[in-house]
Amino acid sequence: MVNFSTLNPQSTIANPKYRGRLAPSPTGYLHLGHARTFWTAQSRARAHGGELILRNDDLDSTRYKMEFVEAMLEDLRWFGFEWSEGPDIGGKFAPYNQSERMSFYRAALEKLQAGGFIYPCTCSRKDIQSAITAPHPENDEEPIYPGTCREKFPTPSSQLPTAKYSWRFRVPDGEIISFVDGNYGEQKLVAGKDFGDFVVWRHDGVPAYQLSCVVDDAAMQITEVVRGADLLVSTARQILLYRALGQTPPKFFHCELMRDERGERLAKRHDALSLRTLRARGESAEKLRAGW
């Protein structure tokens, strides 16, 4: 008989310690919108007495520059962020730079291939655009893939295309993917309608965001993902990836996006609101986050 009185109530199985993360991509300078989402992530980690992990999402080497990595760390520290694991300090789930984690992504890709969850796709962006009949949803930039290559290659793929190809995840058409968001409540997205088959491995050999994110959040034992509301649809895609990889998804908390005076969401091109610029102008981090 199990003696419950000897079990630790903080047992990592029954009640895993909260682990949150900040996962910036060094494709430009961080701006106030990132800072606000990250601040929520940090506050939630602290409120739960948990850990906050910094991960450097630097896979997209065509878009990221080394100077942005340094700037990113500096800007985060200046703003008041503190992390207990990260590319600068290491930790038990190192490395924390995605560019150094290719073996993890490759293993996941192989698992998806073996399970028949993905198929090679030789379509170019232009092919996809011209095959699309319906406009894509406002909140998600990726057009719904028309399924052109779905049946072209036998699955699991024994015979691969000779032209350049990416790997796409076959979504279960019509299935409702639901999850309870910590901020927005119950979410229901229909596979094949709200989002289509998505790329997990790009034709240039780089793992796509959806895959690298799931692989790392799972490997780093993240218990709650705090991110912008622009990623709600991606969260549904990622839930499918967790399932295919035999992993349990974390909890999710999506934050409202910060908008400029014209109602447009902040992007890295809003230089006036970059943390660099604000700091150079003599603004204080405390004041900037007052009221958050």
User: Which of these ranges, 20-28, 79-87, 112-120, 250-258, lies near ligand GLU under the rule CB under 6 A?
Assistant: 20-28
Instruction: Candidates 17-25, 111-119, 179-187, 250-258: pick the segment binding ligand GLU (CB under 6 A).
Output: 17-25
Q: Does 170 bind ligand GLU (CB under 6 A)?
A: no
User: Helices 102-114 and 209-219 sit at what angle, rounded to 10 degrees?
Assistant: 110
Determine if 255 is a binding residue for ligand GLU (CB under 6 A).
no
Considering only 18, 19, 25, 36, the residue that binds ligand GLU (CB under 6 A) is: 25
Q: Please tell me the distance from the alpha carbon of residue 11 to that of residue 28, in angstroms, as a whole number.
A: 41
Residues 207-236 that bind ligand GLU (CB under 6 A): 213, 227, 231
Smallest gap from residue 58 Cβ to ligand GLU (A): 9
Of all helices (H) and strands (E), which one includes residue 218?
helix 209-219
Nearest to 33 by CA among 231, 236, 234: 231
The listed partner (Zn ion, ligand GLU, none) that binds 227, CB under 5 to 8 Å by sort, is ligand GLU
Give how far Cα 13 sits from Cα of 49, 101, 218, Å: 17, 26, 15
Choose one: 23-31, 134-142, 148-156, 246-254; the region binding ligand GLU (CB under 6 A).
23-31
DSSP character for 136?
Answer: P
Q: Can you list the alpha helix ranges (DSSP code H) found in 48-159?
A: 66-79, 102-114, 125-131
Binding mask 148-167 for Zn ion (x = CB under 5 A): xx------------------
Q: Which residues contact 11 (CB under 8 A, 6 or more apart)?
A: none
Using CB under 6 A, which of 51, 57, 85, 224 touches ligand GLU? 57
The edge-to-edge listing of strands for the beta sheet with 185-190 is: 185-190, 176-181, 251-255, 224-228
Q: Which does 148 bind (CB under 5 to 8 A by kind): Zn ion, ligand GLU, none?
A: Zn ion
* Residues that contact ligand GLU, how many (by CB under 6 A): 7
Q: Cβ 177 to Zn ion, closest distance in Å? A: 22
Q: Does 168 participate in binding ligand GLU (rule CB under 6 A)?
A: no
Per rule CB under 6 A, is residue 23 in the interface with ligand GLU?
yes
Q: Which is nearer to ligand GLU, 37 or 166 (CB)?
A: 37
What is the nearest approach in angstroms of ligand GLU to the Cβ of residue 24? 5
DSSP letters spanning 190-217 = EBTTTB--EEEE-TTSPBPHHHHHHHHH
User: What phi, psi does 125 have (nearest 5°)?
Assistant: -55, -40
CA atoms of 200 and 160, how far apart (whole Å): 16
Closest-CA residue to 198 (of 160, 163, 237): 237
Closest distance to Zn ion from the beta carbon of 170 (Å): 12
Binding mask 171-210 for ligand GLU (x = CB under 6 A): ----------------------------------------
